Amino acid sequence: RVAMSYRRGALIVLEGVDRAGKTTQCKKLVQALQESGRPAEMMRFPDRTTKMGKLISAYLEKKSNLEDHTVHLLFSANRWELVPLMRQKLEQGVTLVVDRYAFSGVAFTSAKPGFSLEWCMSPDVGLPKPDLVLFLQLHPAAAEQRGEFGAERYENSDFQKTVLQRFEQLMKDPSLNWQVIDAAKSIEDLHKQIKTHSDTAITTAESQPIGELWK
Ligand code: TMP
pLDDT digits (tens, 9 = 90+) for 83-102: 999 999 999 999 999 999 99
Any idea which of 102-106, 146-150, 182-186 has the lowest mean pLDDT?
A: 146-150
- For 101, residues 6+ apart whose C-beta sits below 8 A from its C-beta are 13, 15, 45, 79, 127, 130, 133
pLDDT at residue 115 greater than cutoff 50:
yes
List, chain by chain if needed, residues with CB within 6 Å of any ligand 1 atom.
Answer: 18, 45-46, 60, 75, 100, 104-105, 108, 154
Please, what's the b/e burial string for 17-47 (b: 16 or more CB within 10 A of its CB; e: otherwise)? bbbbbbeebbebbbebbeeeebebeebbbbb
Is the ipTM above a cut-off of 0.90?
Answer: yes
Collapsing DSSP to helix, strand or coil, 93 comes out as coil
Q: Are 160 and 154 in contact (CB under 8 A)?
A: yes
- Ligand 1 centroid to Cα of residue 94, in Å, is 24
**Band of the pLDDT at 1, cuts 50, 70, 90?**
very low
- For 16, residues 6+ apart whose C-beta sits below 8 A from its C-beta are 22, 135, 136, 137, 138, 167, 183
pLDDT at residue 161 greater than cutoff 50:
yes
Distance between CA atoms of 64 and 203, rounded to whole angstroms?
44
Q: What mean pLDDT value characterizes the chain?
A: 95
Q: Between helices 102-110 and 157-170, what is the axis angle to 10°? A: 120
Q: Are 13 and 86 in contact (CB under 8 A)?
A: no
Q: Are 193 and 25 in contact (CB under 8 A)?
A: no
What residue type is assigned to position 136 of the chain?
L
- Ligand 1 centroid to Cα of residue 45, in Å, is 7
pLDDT at residue 4 greater than cutoff 80:
no
**Band of the pLDDT at 130, cuts 50, 70, 90?**
very high
Collapsing DSSP to helix, strand or coil, 158 comes out as helix
Any idea which of 4-8, 45-49, 63-67, 86-90 has the lowest mean pLDDT?
A: 4-8
pLDDT at residue 170 greater than cutoff 90:
yes
pLDDT at residue 145 greater than cutoff 90:
no
- Ligand 1 centroid to Cα of residue 137, in Å, is 16
Distance between CA atoms of 6 and 48, rounded to whole angstroms?
32
**Band of the pLDDT at 5, cuts 50, 70, 90?**
low
What is the per-residue pLDDT for 215? 96
Distance between CA atoms of 190 and 7, rounded to whole angstroms?
27
Q: Please tell me the residue having the least CA distance from ligand 1 atom 11.
A: 104
* Residue from 196, 199, 205 nearest 90 by CA: 205
What is the per-residue pLDDT for 206? 96
CA 115, 121, 124: angle at the middle one, nearest 5? Answer: 135
- Ligand 1 centroid to Cα of residue 79, in Å, is 12
